[in-house]
Amino acid sequence: MTSDRPSRTWMITGASNGLGLALATHVLKNGDQTVLAAPTLPGMAALAAAYPKTAFAVAMDVTVPEQRAATLQASEARFGGVDVLVNNAGIDFLGAIEEQREEDYRRLFEVNLFGVIEMIRLALPGMRRRGRGTVVNISSMDGVSSLPATGYYSASKFALEGLTEALWQEIEPLGLRAITVQPGSFRTAIEQRTRFSGQPIDDYAATSGAFRRLVSSATPEMFPGDPARAAAAIWKVVINGDSRRRIVLGSDAQRRIAAQFDVLRAELEAGRDMAMGTDYPGSGPSIL
C-alpha cells in the first residue's frame, strides 16, 4: 500500500509472535519501515523476507544491554532513526504471591519493566533530536485490574502504566508522544506460552489455584480478541495523531476496566470524610 504521507520507521519488540507480529505485518503492509526484534529470528524470518527493503529482523533480548544498544545502532544505520518504538516484549508467570519463585518474578520485571525503561532511554535522544517520535507501551487490562495468580505480572504492568503517565507529561512539550495500550485476552496462543511458577499451596486452591486450573484448560475460543484488528487500531491511533494516551482493546478489557473504575470511584467517595480529615488543621494548599 502507498500513500502521500512520509513513511515512518517502527521498532517493535516481541515481534516474533502474537500482537507484535500482527502489528509488524500491518505496518509493513501499509508502507512503513519496521525493525522486528525478538530473542530468536525464526518467527520473524518469513515476514522480513516478504519485505526485504522495509523490514529488518534482529535477534534481541530486551534484558541484554549490548543487544539493545546494537539493535538501535543497526536500526539507525539501516533506516536513519526510530520514529515509533513499540515496547511489546513481555513474559508471564502465574501463581500466588507466596508460591512463585524469586528467579521467575525477577525475570518477569526485567523483561516487562526494566527492559522497557532501557529501550525508551535509548530511543528518546534520537527522537528529541529529530523533534518527532512516539513511544507505545503495551500494558494489559491486568495493568488496571489484578486477579489472583497474576500479582507479579499485574505489578509489572501497573508500574508500566505509571511510567508511561509520567513519560507523556515529560515529552509532549517536546513534540513527542507516549501511549499505553491495554489489551484484553487476544487469540495469540498465549495459553501455550504462559508458565506457572512454584508449587501450588493448598490454602490457595480456591483463589490462585482456581485461576491456574482455568488457564490450564483454556482453549483459543476463550480469547475473544483479534490480533489483526488490534494491530490496525494501534496503527490508526499512531498514524492519525490521535490525542488519546490510553487505548483499551478488546471487549473483555473494556468491561473489566470499566468495572474497576466503578469500584475505585465508590471506594473513593466512601472514604472522602476520612481523607479530608487527615490534614494538619489550617494547612495551606498542597504542592501537587
Q: Kindly state the cell numbers that stand for 107.
A: 525475570
Q: Which whole number is the average pLDDT over 5-19?
A: 92
What confidence score (pLDDT) does residue 217 get? 75
Is 9-271 assigned to CATH 3.40.50.720?
A: yes
CA-CA distance, 218 to 95, in Å (whole number)?
16
Which one, of 16, 103, 129, 94, lies nearest residue 62 by Cα? Answer: 16
| Catalytic residue status for 51 | no
pLDDT of 78-96, one tens digit each? 999 999 999 999 999 999 9
Q: Which whole number is the average pLDDT over 35-61?
A: 96
Read off the amino acid at residue 184.
G
- Taken in order 40, 46, 52, 54, the sign of the CA dihedral is negative
Mean pLDDT in the chain?
93
Rounded (5°) CA angle 62-68-73? 155
pLDDT at residue 266 is higher than 80: yes
pLDDT at residue 194 is higher than 90: no
**CA 136: distance to chain centroid?**
7
Domain boundaries along the sequence of the chain: 9-271
How crowded is residue 4: how many other Cβ atoms within 10 Å of its Cβ?
A: 4
Angle, helices 18-29 vs 227-239, to 10°: value is 50
Question: Is residue 247 within 8 Å of residue 234, measured between CB atoms?
Answer: yes
pLDDT at residue 1 is higher than 60: no
DSSP output for 69-126: HHHHHHHHHHHSS-SEEEE-----EES-TTTS-HHHHHHHHIIIIIHHHHHHHHHHHH
Question: Is residue 89 within 8 Å of residue 62, measured between CB atoms?
Answer: yes
Residues facing residue 134 across a β-bridge = 84, 177
Confidence tier at 241 by pLDDT (50, 70, 90): confident
Residues facing residue 149 across a β-bridge = none
pLDDT at residue 283 is higher than 90: no
CA-CA distance, 118 to 120, in Å (whole number)?
5
How crowded is residue 124: how many other Cβ atoms within 10 Å of its Cβ?
A: 20
**CA 249: distance to chain centroid?**
12
Length reported for the chain: 288
pTM here is 0.93
CA distances 207 to 105, 147, 213, 220, Å, are 19, 9, 10, 23
What confidence score (pLDDT) does residue 175 get? 96
Confidence tier at 186 by pLDDT (50, 70, 90): confident
What confidence score (pLDDT) does residue 91 get? 94
What confidence score (pLDDT) does residue 224 get? 77
Q: Which of 51, 105, 152, 153 is catalytic?
A: 153
Q: Which whole number is the average pLDDT over 262-274?
A: 97
pLDDT of 123-181, one tens digit each? 999 999 999 999 999 999 999 999 999 999 999 999 999 999 999 999 999 999 999 99
Strands 134-138 and 177-183: parallel
80 Rama sector, left if φ>0, alpha if ψ -120 to 50, beta otherwise: left
What confidence score (pLDDT) does residue 225 get? 87
- Pick the residue with more confidence: 90 or 222? 90
